[in-house]
Structure 1
Amino acid sequence: MTSPLRATLDFLLHDWLQAGSLTARERFSDHSRETFDAVLDTCERIAREQYAPFNRTVDMQEPRFDGDKVILPQCTHDARLAYAHSGMLAAAQDYEMGGMQLPYVVESAANAFFGVASIGIGANLLTTGNAILAHGTAVQQQVFAANEFNGRWTGTMCLSEPQAGSSLSDIATRAVPDGAGFEADPLGPRYRLTGHKMWISGGDHELAENIVHLVLAKIPGPDGRLVPGVKGISLFICPKHLVDEGGRLTGEHNDIALAGLNHKLGWCGTVNTLLNFGEGRYPVRGDAGAIGYLVGQPGEGLRCMFHMMNEARIAIGMAATMLGLAGYYASLDYARTRLQGRPVGAGGKEAAQPPVPLIEHADIKRMLLAQKSYCEGALALNLYCARLVDEARTGGAQAAADARLLLEVLTPIAKSWPSENCLEANSLAIQIHGGYGYTRDFPVEQYWRDNRLNMIHEGTHGIQAQDLLGRKVVMQEGAGLRLLGRTVGQTIQRAQDSGHAELAAWADALAQALQQLQAATQATWATGDAQQALANAVPYLQAFGHVVLAWKWLDVACAVRRADAMLSGAANRGRTRAAAYFYHYELPRIGPWLAVVARRDMTCADTPPEAF
C-alpha cells in the first residue's frame, strides 16, 4: 500500500512539477520515471527500516563523551551506513565525482522520507562537499569533497562562536600563515587557526574515519590586528585528522579539541558541539594551532560559505516541513481511531448516541486541515525551490537567470515559513491528542521539540525577515519582486482561464493579496529610512510567506484539476480542501500584518529598554 507521503511526493513531482521532463536534458538523459521511482523506493525502505524504528531511541539515548570519544547508539551508525551505501550522499553530483547526476528536486523528494522517519538520525548526514566543489581547488575537490560524497568522511559548518551567534562580523577566530612556504602545500595555502566555534552539528563522533570542518576565521591585517566587520573573513578546510594529497590519513590528529556537547530541546540524536581550535591539546608538528587550508580567496569566506548556507536554509525548511507532516500523520491516525464525544444534532448533543471518532468533530477537522495546508503547502514550496535549482544549473540562459533570481527572493521564505507554520502544525497535532499529546506515549511531543529548533537553525526568523525586506526585494531595483509578481500572475491567469469557479475565485483573492504586498513594499521604503522600513520586517515576512503559499496552493490546485477534473479521487479532494482552507482561513490574515508595514509603525522599534 502506498504511504500518504509517497502519494503526495509522486503527485508533486510528476503531476505538478513534471520532473520527468528533465530527462530531456543532457545531464539527466540516463534517467527516467523508473529510475526516479527506484530512488524513492530505496530511500523509503531505508527510512522505514533503519530510521523510523529508532526515532525514540536516539531521542532518549543522547550523544555522550566518555573522555576519549563521542558515543552514539549503534542504530545511528547502522542508519548512516545504510544511507551512505545507497549512494544518496552524492545523488546530484557528477558521475566523475561518484554521483548519480539526479535532478536536485528528486534528491530532495527522496530525502523527505528521512525527515519524517527521524530527524535526529538524519541530521548526522551533513556534508560540505558542495561548497568545496564550488570554491575549492581541484585537489581540494578530489580529496575532501569526493570523500564526503562517498561516505568515508563527514562535514560540518563552523560559523558561530560563543560570543557571536548570528553576528558573523564579530567572530574572533584567527588564521595566520603556517610559516615559510605555506602556500606550497598541495592541499592549499596552509594556515594555523585559533579560536572557539559553537553549535557545531556533527562536530565530533566516530561515524566516519574523518570530519571535514569548514571554518570561518579572520586573517589579521598588516598591523597584526583583525579587520573589523566581515571583510577579513576567510574560509578554511580543517580536517579532524590530517591527510595527504591522496586522501590518506597521516595519523596526525589536528589541533581541534572537543570542549563540550550541547544538549538541546530537540534533535537529541544529533551530536552538537563546542570546538576549540588551536588550544594546544593536539599540537601538530610541534606547534599549536589547527591546520587549515584556505578555500577560495582571502576575505571571501562569507561568499564561499553562503553558497552552502542557502542550500542549508532550504534543507532546514524541508526538515521543518517533514516534522510537521510527521505530526500531521500521527494526529490524523489518532483522530480516526480515538472515540470521543457525540454528534451534535439540531437540539444540541445527542447523549443517547455512541461516541464518535474525533475526526467527526468540526474543530478537529479545522486543526487537521490547518496542518495539511501548512505542511503539504510547504512541501510544494520546497520542492519548487529544488526544481529552481535544477533550472538554474541546466536551463537555458534566460530561464537559468530567472531561476537564480527567484531563488534569491524565495530562500528566506522557504526556510522561515515552514519553520514557523509547520511548528504550529505540530502544536495542533498535540492538541488533537489532548492530554495524551503531552506524554511520551505518543510521538507528537517529540516532533514539536525537534521542530522548535528550526526557527533558529541557519538564521533566525528575524534575520530571514531582514534579509527579505532589506535586501532581496530591493536588490537590482526590485527585479526579483517584479519577476515573482509576473510568475505569480501567470498562475493567476491559468486559474482564471480554467473554467472552474473555485479556482477563479482563489485567483482573484491572490491577485488582490499580491497587490497589497507590492503596495506595502513600496510604502515601507517610501522614505528611504532603513530603520523605519525594517522595523516590521517580521510581519512583512509572514505576509509575504502567506502570499507565496497561496500561490503554491493555487498552482497545485490547477494541477489537481488537470489530473482529476471531477475530483473523483480522495487524495485530490483532500488537496483541494486544504487549498480552500488556506484561502478562507489563512490568506485573509495578511491584512493586519501589512498594515503595520505600510504605515511604518514604530511601536516596537521606539519602545525604550527601560519600558520593559
Structure 2
Amino acid sequence: MSLRPTVDFLLNDWLGVESLNQRERFADHSRETFDAVLDTCERIAREKYAPFNRTVDTQEPHFDGERVVLPQATHDAQKAYAESGMLSAAQDYAIGGMQLPYTVEAAANAFFAMASVSIGSGMLTTGNANLLMAHGTEAQKRVFALNEFSGRWSGTMCLSEPQAGSSLSDVATRATPDGDDFMNDPLGPRFRLKGNKMWISAGEHELTENIIHLVLAKIPGADGKLPPGVKGISLFIVPKKLVDADAKLTGERNDVALAGLNHKCGWRGTTNTLLNFGEGKFPVRGGAGAVGYLVGQPGEGLRCMFHMMNEARIGVGMAATMLGMAGYHASLDYAKNRPQGRPVGPEGKDPSRPQSRIIEHADVKRMLLAQKSYCEGALALELYCARLVDEQHTGAPEAADEARLLLEVLTPIAKSWPSEWCLEANSLAIQVHGGYGYTRDFPVEQYWRDNRLNMIHEGTHGIQAMDLLGRKVLMENGRGLQLLAQRINATIERAMHVPDMAVHGNALGQALAQLGAATKAAWATGNPAEALANAVPYLQAFGHTVLAWIWLDVALAAQASPESAARTGRLGAMRFFFHYELPKIGAWLAVVSQRDPTCAALPEEAF
C-alpha cells in the first residue's frame, strides 16, 4: 500500500495546490515539477530511510569518549536528504532554493517521516535557518543560515534547562558581553555564555561539519542579576566550532560540551543531549564561556524563537501523523493476510468452514477505520496548515492576514491532535496484530514508542491547551476563532446541498455551537485559574471539531470524484469520525462549561 495516492488527492483534488503557480513566486512550477519533487523524496525515503528504521532503533547513538557514534545508515540518509535540496526547498533561487510552495515541501517531507522518523531529516536545521533569515543580520544569514540550507552545517534549538523544563521564565543561562569591543564583531554582538541546556535533539554528532545552536539566555543587569520572567530572554547563535566572517572554520572548538546522552523510549536514531555551555572543557582564548552572537535585540529572544518553535510544532504534528500512518499501513497489510476465526452466521460459527482473514471481522474493521480516520484526517490538517503558510507569505494582504490568524489558532491543534490520536492509532495497530504486535518481530511496537514523544516535545499537551484556551481563542478579540467558524460554516453550507452530507453538516454545526458556548462559559467569571482548569478537555473537543470539519471538507471533494475504492474509503472514514468520534466532545465540553473544579481543587495530600 502506498501513501502517494492519498498525498496526490489531498494536494490536487482537495487543496488545488497547482493554483499556486499563478503567483509570481511559484510561476516556474507546474504539476510536473511538484510531482518530480514528490517522486524524488518518495524514492530517497524508500531506499535510504525505510530499510534502516529498525537499525537505528537497535543501534542507539553512543559516546566513545571523543565523539558520538551513529550508524552509517544515518550518515547516508542525511547526505541523501541534503543533496536532494529539501533543506532549502522553499528558499529563493538566489540562495540556491527551489521556491517551492511550503504545502509541497510539507507533503514531500511526509515520506521521510513515515519511512523513519527516528533517522530524522532537516526539521530543526531548516527551522533554525528560517529563523535566522527572519531575524538575523545579513552576515548571520550568509554565514550560518546559508550553510545550514546547503547541508554543510546542521542546527538545533536550545530552550529547556534541567532545573526549568518548559518554564522558560526560569532560564538561568547567562550571557555577558565579550570584551569592550563586543559590539564590533562582524557576526553580531559577541557574548560569553554559561549554563546548561537539556533535551537538545541532534545536539552532538558527526553528521555535519558544524552544529549551530540557537540558545536562549539572559543578559545580567548592572547589578549582576538576571532579569526576571520571559521578557529578559535573549537569543544567541552558539556554533560548536568557531567560524570567521567568511564561514570558514577557525580550527578552534567553542566551549560547548556534551554532558550526556538521554536514553529514550523511542526515536532512538536521533541523539538527545544535555549540553554544558562555558564549563571550561574547551576554553576559548580571550575569556571564559562559550562564544555566542546576539540575534535581534536584547530581551526579544523568545519572540524570535517562536518563529522556529511554531514551525517545529507543525513538524511534530506531521511526524506524529506519519508514524500513525506507518502503523495503519502495517496493520492493514497484516489484517488482510492473517487468518483467524470464522464469521458468525445465523446459527453461530461453523468450525468446518475455513478460517477468515481478520479484516473480515467487524471489530478489526472498526480499529482500521479508526486509524484511517485519525491519520488521513491529521495529514489533511497538516497540509491545510501548510497551505495557510503559503497564503500568509504570498497571498493578497487581507487573505495573508487571515491566514496568519488562522494559523495562530490552529497551530496548537496541528501539534497536539495528531500527537494524541495518531498515537492511539499506533496502539490500535498493535491490537490488530494481537500478541505479535507486542513483539519486536513486527514494526508496530516501535512506531508506538517513537510516537509517544510527540505529546511531550515542542510544548506538552497541557501547554498547547493553555495556549489555545488562554491566548489563541482570545487574541484580537476572538477574531481568529471567528475566522475559523466562518470557514467551518462555509463547509457546512456546501454540505447541506449534498443529500448524503446534510446530516453530517448538521452535526458539525451543533458541535461548533457547543464549542462556542463552552468557550464563553469557561471565561464567564474572567478568572484564568477557573477557565484553564479543564484546558486539555477543551483542546480535545476543539481538535475533534476541527477534524470533523476537515473530514467533511475532504469528503465533499471525494464525493465529486469518480467511483473508486479510494472514494468509498474516504467517505467511510468521514462517516466513522462523525458517528464514533465527534459525539465525544459533549463529555469534554461539559467540564469546561461548568468550570469543574474536581482536578484543580483536590488537595495534594488526597493523592
TM-score normalised to structure 1 length = 0.98
Q: How does 1:131-142 map to 2 (within 5 A)?
A: 131-142=131-142
State the AA in 1 paired with 2:283: P
Q: How does 1:153-552 map to 2 (within 5 A)?
A: 153-497=153-497, 499=498, 501-552=499-550
Matches of 1:63 and 1:283, distance apart in 2 = 26
Q: How does 1:575-586 map to 2 (within 5 A)?
A: 575-586=570-581
Q: Which runs of 5+ in 1 are unaligned?
A: none
Percent sequence identity is 73
Alpha-carbon offset, residue 177 of structure 1: 0.3
Partner of 1:126: 124
Matches of 1:211 and 1:420, distance apart in 2 = 31
1:148 aligns with 2:154: no
Would you say the 8 A contact 1:119–1:267 is kept in 2?
yes
Alpha-carbon offset, residue 241 of structure 1: 0.5
Cα deviation 1:27-73 (Å, max 9, x = unaligned): 00010000000000000000000000000000000000011010000
Partner of 1:595: 590
Would you say the 8 A contact 1:543–1:594 is kept in 2?
yes
**Which shows bigger deviation, 12-21 or 488-497?**
488-497
Change (3 A) 1:82 1:165: same
Q: State the SS of the aligned residue for 1:352.
A: coil
**Which shows bigger deviation, 425-434 or 555-564?**
555-564
State the AA in 2 paired with 1:271: T
Would you say the 8 A contact 1:123–1:270 is kept in 2?
no
Q: State the SS of the aligned residue for 2:53.
A: helix
Matches of 1:182 and 1:350, distance apart in 2 = 84
**Which shows bigger deviation, 282-291 or 240-249?**
282-291
State the AA in 2 paired with 1:174: R
Cα deviation 1:105-148 (Å, max 9, x = unaligned): 00000000001100111256531101101100011001100000
Would you say the 8 A contact 1:533–1:597 is kept in 2?
yes
Q: State the SS of the aligned residue for 2:260.
A: strand
Alpha-carbon offset, residue 364 of structure 1: 0.0
Change (3 A) 1:124 1:386: closer
Partner of 1:80: 78
Aligned residues: 605
Would you say the 8 A contact 1:318–1:379 is kept in 2?
yes
Alpha-carbon offset, residue 459 of structure 1: 0.3
Would you say the 8 A contact 1:124–1:270 is kept in 2?
no
Matches of 1:579 and 1:546, distance apart in 2 = 12
Would you say the 8 A contact 1:239–1:254 is kept in 2?
yes
Alpha-carbon offset, residue 16 of structure 1: 0.2
Q: Which runs of 5+ in 2 are unaligned?
A: none
Cα deviation 1:155-210 (Å, max 9, x = unaligned): 00000010111101111000000011100000000000000000000101100000
Matches of 2:294 and 2:123, distance apart in 1 = 24
Alpha-carbon offset, residue 350 of structure 1: 2.0
RMSD, aligned CA = 0.8
Partner of 2:36: 38
Would you say the 8 A contact 2:87–2:122 is kept in 1?
no
Partner of 1:89: 87
Partner of 1:604: 599
Q: State the SS of the aligned residue for 2:500.
A: helix
Matches of 1:188 and 1:491, distance apart in 2 = 49
Alpha-carbon offset, residue 223 of structure 1: 1.0
Cα deviation 1:516-542 (Å, max 9, x = unaligned): 000000111011011100000000000
Alpha-carbon offset, residue 369 of structure 1: 0.1
Matches of 1:119 and 1:428, distance apart in 2 = 19
Cα deviation 1:188-246 (Å, max 9, x = unaligned): 00000000000000101100000000000001112110011111100000000011111
State the AA in 1 paired with 2:53: N
Runs of 4+ in 1 over 6 A off after TM superposition: none
Matches of 1:592 and 1:136, distance apart in 2 = 47
State the AA in 1 paired with 2:338: R
Would you say the 8 A contact 2:178–2:191 is kept in 1?
yes
Matches of 1:517 and 1:526, distance apart in 2 = 14
Matches of 1:259 and 1:267, distance apart in 2 = 20
State the AA in 2 paired with 1:176: T
Would you say the 8 A contact 1:340–1:358 is kept in 2?
yes
Alpha-carbon offset, residue 286 of structure 1: 4.3
Matches of 2:457 and 2:7, distance apart in 1 = 25
Matches of 2:183 and 2:347, distance apart in 1 = 85
Alpha-carbon offset, residue 287 of structure 1: 2.5
State the AA in 2 paired with 1:357: R
Alpha-carbon offset, residue 4 of structure 1: 2.7
State the AA in 2 paired with 1:593: W
State the AA in 2 paired with 1:358: I
Would you say the 8 A contact 1:137–1:188 is kept in 2?
yes
TM-score normalised to structure 2 length = 0.99
Matches of 1:331 and 1:288, distance apart in 2 = 55
Q: State the SS of the aligned residue for 2:589.
A: helix
Partner of 1:561: 559
Matches of 2:64 and 2:390, distance apart in 1 = 44
The match for 2:60 among 56, 59, 62 is 62
Matches of 2:289 and 2:348, distance apart in 1 = 75
